[in-house]
Structure 1
Amino acid sequence: MTVTPFVYVGAALTEIAGCFSFWVWLRMGQSPLWVVPGIVSLALFAWLLTLVDSDAAGRAYAAYGGVYIFASLGWLWAVEGLRPDRWDIAGASICLIGAAVILLGPRTG
């Protein structure tokens, strides 16, 4: 079994957490010290994406985009307390289907 789905989920959580730390600092007026765990989280995110089982970085990043969108809506609900609506879920589902096509589609030569 490939670890790619787990890597994508971990990457999404670390990217969202890293970006959210900047949001907390700049948009919510909290201490600039929020940036420190954000930078660590974003570095971990970048490292995790290097673990994806793909022959091309761009393809790995493109497929990751669908996972990121879905995970962002989970963050919206779990952390920010806003439940995604049907349009959020429909859009994220379309993106996940696209990610699966990119990642799992047959490749020639």
Structure 2
Amino acid sequence: MIKSILYFLLACIFEVGGGYLVWIWLKNDRPLWIGILGMVMLAVYGVVATLQTSTFGRVFAGYGGIFIVFSIVWAMVFDKFKPDRFDIVGAVLILLGVFIMLYGRNFIK
């Protein structure tokens, strides 16, 4: 389970980070190399995600929930985004659902 969580976090860094670099390249008129770096990071994300041992559907559905929460954290750090109580409650519920979906079978037989 720890290895799986680390793969999810690594995938988040490459996916959200890569998407962010492409975003600022196009939206904030940054140099082309920033966009290219973002695209490379997005490609690496696709490879990192395959390191998970569960099925494609379960991994990508679970990753979708983790992506939501990681995106909020990323925006807080890099864009000074201030989540409100609805963002926080929603993120907690999403993580709970992801945990149940991905790891619940390990605890309840």
Q: Same fold (TM over 0.5)?
A: yes
Moved more, 56-65 or 31-40: 31-40
**1:78 match:** 77
Letter of the 2:89 counterpart: A
**2:100 match:** 101
Post-superposition offset of 1:83:
2.1
Q: In the TM superposition, what are the counterparts of 1:1-109 in structure 2 within 5 Å?
A: 2-54=2-54, 56-106=55-105
Cα deviation digits, residues 2-34 of structure 1 (max 9, x gap): 400011011111101110111111111222221
Letter of the 1:38 counterpart: G
Cα deviation digits, residues 43-102 of structure 1 (max 9, x gap): 221111111120x11111001111111111110111111222211111111111111122
Identity of aligned residues (%): 32
Post-superposition offset of 1:105:
3.5
Q: Give the length in aligned residue pairs.
A: 106
Asked if the contact 2:22/2:39 (under 8 Å) is kept, the reply is no
Asked if the contact 1:77/1:83 (under 8 Å) is kept, the reply is yes
Q: Where do 5+ consecutive residues of structure 2 fail to align? A: none
The TM-score, its normalising length taken from structure 1, stands at: 0.88
Q: Where do 5+ consecutive residues of structure 1 fail to align? A: none
Q: Determine which structure has the larger helix proportion and give its number.
A: 2
